[in-house]
Chain A
Amino acid sequence: MTPGGWINLFLSVGFVVGLFSWCIWRTFKSDPPAPAPPPPTRPDKSDKPQR
């Protein structure tokens, strides 16, 4: 294996492994959080029919 071979090997394998790692990291990182349940609403007195 010549120095050129090592450079070729590390550049090629490094590029694809780096790209894949970045993609996986972004895929899991950017998953949006599950939508939170709506907060319990307080009864708005102003909406109550006036007696």
Chain B
Amino acid sequence: MSKRPPELWSSRLGAILAVSGSAVGLGNFIRFPALAAEYGGGAFMIAYFVSLLVIGIPLSWIEWTVGRMGGTAGFHSSAGILHAVYRRPWARYLGGLGIIIALLIYLYYIHIEAWCLGYAYHAAIGTFQEPGLNFGAFFTNFTGGSANGSSFHFSPTHVGLFLLTAFVLNLAIIHRGLSKGIEKICIYALPMLFVLAVIILVRVLTLGTPDAAKPDQNVLNGLGYLWNPRDIGAGLRRPELWLAAAGQIFFSLSVGMGVIITYASYLKPQDDVALSGLTAVSANEVCEVGLGGLISVPAAFMFLGATAITSSTIGMGFIVLPDVFARMPGGQAFAIAYFTLLFLAALTSSISMLQPALALLEEVTDMGRNASVAILSVLTAGGASYVWWFSQDLKALDTLDFWVGTFAIYVQASLFVICFGWVLGAERGLAEARRGARMHLPDFLAPMIRYVCPAYLLLIFGVFILNDIVGWNFSLTAPAFTRTAKLDDLLTSPVAQTSVGIILLLALLTTALLERGARRWDARLDALAKPSPTP
């Protein structure tokens, strides 16, 4: 183990802001409103809040609690934490899965972060104000969507320069450490992000009817397009709606990635996890429902109409919204603000994805921070360059997002809840969560964590498999199965197959590190278990 003094958050607010920063991302401002509009405001919001209460908040509390338990024993990587908490041979692999997930998501998330930075730059130099600009073509050229390697340049018209900037910035922040790097950035970035979002929100809500020739495209109809309930009963009977709502809660809160566990391990043993966890969740929800839900879809509706609104995060964020800002009075300033906001949201998320791997490297080797960051930078540079080169149709990015950012997170979170409820014991876990708690945690949480959360998660995971992999049409009377695009890619696309190969390669590498770590962790746990000699 490292002989450096243990790192801790310098304040409770810093820990809350860091976890909130990890959770608040592009999904809050783009994906959530687009999904709500697609599935009909009323039914989607019911499914969304049910998912928040049944899996979002309990899962968040579980991760905060387990993280603090591991941190109290001196462990900070999710693999070490689960090894210490569960004392089972398989526990370190479950924790290791969280580290792999976070690191692999980083490999493509850093690209999206670079897009935000690049778009903020282009908004500032007035690219989006150029008359006749084709926003779809600009995006394809910028990201290299037309051919592999076509964006492998360092000119401002391609992503390379911004990717390098974002990459160096992330490494510089985590190199500075927990309180001087991550915490300090989040303390400034989160309030700034919030202020920028409020400014854009005020602008959108005061637009009235931007085009007098199209009186129907006004602010009230824009809000109504997202929030009008439509047919709630029919909506709630659609399995895809529940999948979309639960998935949004799940990915938005950064649960099932090993990030919250790692961050919570830097709390002091008596620090509160109950109120802190709920505060981080609610901060994420304010950004998502209170700000995200009122900005992008109403703005897109007012300027481009309902047909332009897409549930694709990338399409909405990088093709539709730049077009909207180009048509908006004073749109250049608001485009700068919007893409800066997205960049800050992405930055505070991406640094959190590096910390679990960094904690593992520091924990299982005798290397210091410099060497660990250097190894991590080589590893992530290789992975991110792979995604950068294989940019045609964003195939590498899309494959990693599906199999890691969706499938693996479901697996990890489901196993995690089951372990907490059944291996550690929901009652014991709840008692642990109540230690130092600054709010009351009700008794019904124990049976909820033991029965309701795993059942709900497994049900949603089942729907995901049936919908996205098996391709069932959810009809019992006339069932039909179609080969889904993801399965098709896996069977036919060399890039998709190589991407899955990279996932397996990283899994092997992590397994080797975990084996090395297990011996050290056991020795440390034995030392902790020994009674200290009395004088």
Contact = CB atoms under 8 A, between A and B. Distances in A.
A30 B271 CA distance: 12
B42 A20 contact: no
Interface residues on A, range: 20 to 34
Contact of A12 (B228, B275, B293): B293
A4 B220 contact: no
19 contacts: A1-B220, A1-B224, A1-B228, A4-B42, A4-B229, A5-B229, A8-B42, A9-B223, A11-B45, A12-B227, A12-B289, A16-B290, A19-B278, A19-B282, A19-B285, A20-B290, A23-B278, A23-B282, A24-B279
Contacts, number: 78
Interface in B267-293: 272, 275-276, 278-279, 282-283, 285-286, 288-290, 293
Interface in A1-37: 1-2, 4-6, 8-9, 11-13, 15-17, 19-20, 22-24, 26-27, 30-31
A10 B437 CA distance: 31
Nearest to A29: B438
B26 interface: no
B49 interface: yes
Nearest to A15: B49
B275 A30 contact: yes
A27 B16 contact: yes
B293 A26 contact: no
B228 A5 contact: yes
Contacts of B221: 1
A4 B228 contact: yes
Contacts of A19: 278, 282, 285
B439 interface: yes
A49 to B, nearest CB: 26
Given A17-B290, A19-B285, A8 B229 contact: yes
For the complex of A and B, 6 pairs with smallest distance between CB atoms: A1-B224, A23-B279, A5-B228, A20-B282, A16-B285, A5-B227
A1 to B, nearest CB: 4
Given A9-B227, A12-B49, A13-B289, A27 B12 contact: yes
Nearest to A27: B279
B229 A27 contact: no
Contact of A5 (B13, B16, B41, B438): B41
A24 to B, nearest CB: 7
